[in-house]
């Protein structure tokens, strides 16, 4: 049995979806499936990754890099 807040949320979602095109509903369904699949994956950083992020966090703002440079460095180092 749903409590009141879940019922209210469910009703709000239902109301919003009443006039949505089928293509949008399919995208929403795929998104919800992805969320459900991902909740079973517990991602955990390695100690090396944690140390690397801690060092970055401690840097002064003047030493921070542009996001594209950072992403390239992470991609090269970790293959992401």
More reliable by pLDDT, 58 or 61:
58
Residue 66 lies in a domain: yes
Query: Does residue 53 have a pLDDT over 80?
Result: yes
Of 49, 36, 59, the residue nearest 79 (C-alpha)? 49
- Given a cut of 60, whether residue 1 has pLDDT beyond it is no
> What's residue 35's pLDDT?
82
Q: Write out the E strands in the chain.
A: none
Instruction: Kindly state the DSSP code that residue 46 receives in the 8-state scheme.
Output: -
Give the pLDDT of residue 27. Answer: 92
Number of folded domains in the chain? 1
Cβ atoms of 2 and 11 closer than 8 Å: no
Range of the domain at 61: 47-78
The verdict on residue 16 lying in a domain is no
pLDDT confidence of residue 26: 92
Q: Residues 18-51: pLDDT tens digits?
A: 998 999 999 999 988 888 776 766 778 889 889 9
pLDDT for 79 equals 75
pLDDT range class, residue 2, cuts 50, 70, 90: low
């Amino acid at each position: 049995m749903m409590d009141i807040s879940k019922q209210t949320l469910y009703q709000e979602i239902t109301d919003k979806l009443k006039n949505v095109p089928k293509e949008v509903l399919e995208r929403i369904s795929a998104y919800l499936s992805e969320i459900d699949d991902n909740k079973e994956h517990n991602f955990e950083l390695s100690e090396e990754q944690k140390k690397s992020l801690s060092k970055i966090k401690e840097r002064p703002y003047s030493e921070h890099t542009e996001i594209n440079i950072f992403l390239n460095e992470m991609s090269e180092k970790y293959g992401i």
